[in-house]
Homo-oligomer: A and B are copies of this chain.
Amino acid sequence: MALGIFDSGIGGLTVFKSIATRFPKLDMIYFGDTARVPYGNKSPETIVRYTLECTKHLVDNYKIDALVLACNTASSHALKTLHDEFHIPVLGVIDAGVKNAVDVSSNRKVAVIATHATIKSKSYNKVFQLMNADIDIVSLPCPLFVPLVEEALIDGDMVETIVRETLKPIKNIGIDTIILGCTHYPVLKSVIAKVIPNVNIVDSTTYIVTDVLDLNINLEESGVRKILITDESHAFNSLKNILVGDIDVEVIKL
C-alpha cells in the first residue's frame, strides 16, 4: 500500500517533495503524465479522461490506498469523477491553497494565478465561497508558465521577462497575497517574488501535509519512493534532480 501522487507533468513533484519530507517512512508513488502535459489548455472532457486513465493505472498496478491529485487543473475538473469511480480517498490541492491564503492575507485581497482550465472552472472561487471567506479574488491565467517549467527554463532574463509581462495585470492593484494555483508554479517562486515583491506567495504544499494526516493512512512504512512517467521528455531528468534528487524512475506506456 502506498500514497499515490498524480500530476499532468513534473510540477506535482513540488507537492511530492513536501509530503515526502514531512513523512520520511511513508511509501509514495508519483505519476506524471509527461507525454500529454500540459493539461491546462485542454478541454474539461479530455482532462477528466486522461486523469481517470492515469489513476486507474495507479489503482490497478500499485494498490494505492489514497491519492493526492497534485495538479490544480485535474483537481478543478476531475475530483468528483475520481471520487465516484474509485473506492479510495482522493485529495485535491485547491482547498489547501485557499486555507493558506485565508490564513496569511491581511487586507483580504488575493490573486489566483493558474492555467486557463483552472481559472475557467472557478474552482478557487467556489472553495473561497464554501469557507465563507470574505475575500476579493482576482484570477489570472499564466499559460506559458507550465511550458517554461517542463523545459527546465526556471531563471534568467527571458524567464523574468515572461513572468513580468504575464503578471502585469495583478501588479499595483492592492493585493497582498498570490496563490500559486498550479503545482508547476512554485518552481518559479523566486522569479515571481522578484517581479511582485512584498506580497505573500502561497501554494498548497504547506497545508496538504495536514490533509494527508487526516487521510488516516499508514505513515510508518518503508519509505519506498518511485516515479512513473509516460514519456522521458527532453528536460525531465534535469528538473527531477533539482526538485527531488535521486529517485527510481520508470517510463510506462498508456
Cβ–Cβ contact A158 & B162, under 8 A: yes
Report chain B residues within 8 Å CB of A151: 41, 143-144
Cβ–Cβ contact A143 & B36, under 8 A: no
Partner of A233, one of B41, B144, B162, B234: B41
Cβ–Cβ contact B150 & A144, under 8 A: no
Q: Mark A132-173, 1 if CB is under 8 A from B, else 0.
A: 000000000001100110110100011001100110000000
How far apart are A144's CB and chain B's nearest CB, in angstroms? 6
A190 at the interface (CB under 8 A from B): no
CA gap between A2 and B157 in the complex, in Å = 47
Report chain B residues within 8 Å CB of A43: 231-233, 251
Q: Which of A6-49 contact B (CB under 8 A)?
A: 35-36, 38, 41-43, 46, 49
Known: A161-B161, A165-B157, A165-B158. A235 touches B148 (CB 8 A): no
Report chain B residues within 8 Å CB of A49: 253
Q: Which residue in chain B gives the minimum CB-CB distance to A230?
A: B46
Report chain B residues within 8 Å CB of A36: 35-36
Known: A36-B35, A165-B157, A253-B49. A42 touches B231 (CB 8 A): yes
A225 at the interface (CB under 8 A from B): no
Q: Mark A83-127, 1 if CB is under 8 A from B, else 0.
A: 000000000000000000000000000000000110000000000
Cβ–Cβ contact A46 & B35, under 8 A: yes
How far apart are A252's CB and chain B's nearest CB, in angstroms? 11
How far apart are A213's CB and chain B's nearest CB, in angstroms? 36
Report chain B residues within 8 Å CB of A147: 38, 143-144, 147
Q: Which residue in chain B gives the minimum CB-CB distance to A49?
A: B253
CA gap between A230 and B166 in the complex, in Å = 28
Report chain B residues within 8 Å CB of A235: 41
Q: Which of A228-245 contact B (CB under 8 A)?
A: 230-235
Report chain B residues within 8 Å CB of A231: 42-43, 46
Q: Which residue in chain B gives the minimum CB-CB distance to A234?
A: B41
Report chain B residues within 8 Å CB of A46: 35, 230-231
Report chain B residues within 8 Å CB of A157: 165
Known: A43-B233, A147-B147. 10 other contacts (CB 8 A): A35-B42, A38-B147, A42-B234, A43-B232, A46-B230, A46-B231, A143-B153, A144-B144, A161-B165, A162-B162
